[in-house]
Amino acid sequence: MTPVELSRTVLRAVRRAVDEGELRVAVPERVVVTAPGPGGCGDYATNVALQLARPAGQPPRDVAGILQAHLAGADGVADVVITGPGFLNISLGDTATATLVEEILRRGTRYGHAHAPSADLVPLVCPREVRAVVVMDALARILRSQGAAVHTRCEAPLAPEWVDILGLRVDAQADQADQADQPKQPNQPKQPNKPKPLNPKPPLPHYAVRPAPAPVDPLPLGRDAARWALLHPAAHDRPRITGEHLVQRESNPLFRVRYAHARTRALSRNAADLGFAAEAGDVRHEVTALLADHPRVLAQAAAHRAPDRLARHLVTVADAVLPLLPAVLPRGAEKPSAAHRARLALAEAAGTVLAGGLSLLGIDAPDHL
């Protein structure tokens, strides 16, 4: 069961409780399920009972108890536990991990992307400052992954080295966008006046991308390290531009993300040499919930205009999957088993999420480090 399917299952439980008169509330359009927070348990958690408590006129834990009864017998749900003030913590059946891994491997690096374009048009504008342009570029990639149409504009022409080294592009620059506003030359023939539309459409408001500027030039770091140094901190935080972003050790978050990805690819190659391939199965591991949460992270990064949320999520995924990797391949004379195949599939799914996330940030995910 995927997070989207579980969300629909919880929503059906709410609807049944309303239909049977146990809750007197308007059924929400959607229910959000996420990885359990501190004090939680199971595979997923939702705060829907807390949201419905006030309109229902009941304590949150009472609402949670009503929904717990309806969820307990749902297909694919193994257990439902109430924690805290009324959080529903849901454990899925044995096929949950296999279904998730199959979906990730089927969709590849587009896992978490919208299935169809939306009606949203998002115009972005930024000043001529290197971090602002990098953040706008990554934000445009994330918004497009969620189906939005995006138009990017810089208030002045980009520096050529930003294009060459950082791979930056914009849809319009000030000299191009303002060309229509330039005064006519005296020797040009006068153009006939065009009739004005009766109901002119107001211009769409641009979202101004103005993060804290880079304190020094990041270009000496090269494309990948420079982009990471500018994207990983939150927009209001001043980025650190140091050689630490280039070192290959655990203190460097970018290295841990790329290393975890490269290790998953190496495991696939080594498994092929041993004569077996990945096969999705039931593997209980903390990285599963993080992979399931990836679509929500992308949606939130787009909604809040915050590429840093994606960068930090990738670090969390990498740190979670690295302890799994030593157990993927058989040791010594041990023969490959279903457990090895399932762990390999989970590792490949994690590598796919890491590669897709880095791509949205404009950063390469090499198969070898």
Q: What is the residue extent of each domain of the chain?
A: 3-93
DSSP category for residue 92: E
**Is residue 252 classed exposed, middle or buried when 0-12, 13-18 and 19+ CB atoms within 10 A define those classes?**
middle
3-93 CATH: 3.30.1360.70
Q: How far apart are CA 295 and CA 289, in angstroms?
A: 11
pLDDT of residue 180: 43
Task: Give, for all 369 residues of the chain, the pLDDT tens digit.
Answer: 677 788 899 999 999 999 999 999 999 988 988 878 777 887 789 999 999 999 999 999 999 999 999 998 787 788 899 999 999 998 877 557 888 899 999 999 999 999 888 888 999 999 999 999 999 999 999 999 999 999 999 999 999 999 999 999 999 887 654 444 444 455 555 555 655 555 554 455 678 999 999 999 999 999 999 999 999 999 999 999 999 999 999 999 999 999 999 999 999 999 999 999 999 987 878 888 889 889 989 999 999 999 999 999 999 999 999 999 999 999 888 899 999 999 999 999 999 999 999 999 999 999 998
pTM: 0.74
- Residue 184 is predicted with a pLDDT of 47
Asked whether 298 and 112 are in contact (CB, 8 A), the reply is: yes
- Rounded CA-CA distance 139/310 in Å is 10
Name the residue among 354, 293, 277, 297 with its Cα closest to residue 322: 354
Q: Which H/E stretch holds residue 81?
A: strand 77-83
Q: What is residue 197's predicted lDDT score, i.e. its pLDDT?
A: 55
Token pair belonging to 296: 């929500």
By CB neighbour count within 10 A (0-12 exposed, 13-18 middle, 19+ buried), where does 314 fall?
A: buried
The pLDDT score that the predictor gives to residue 199 is 52
Contacts of 89 (CB under 8 A, 6+ apart): 36, 40, 41, 42, 44, 45, 80, 81, 82, 83
Give the pLDDT confidence score for residue 15 in this predicted structure: 93
pLDDT value of position 94 = 58
Instruction: Tell me what pLDDT residue 10 has.
Output: 93
172-173, strands of its sheet edge to edge: 172-173, 149-154, 121-126, 207-208
- Write down the pLDDT at residue 187: 56
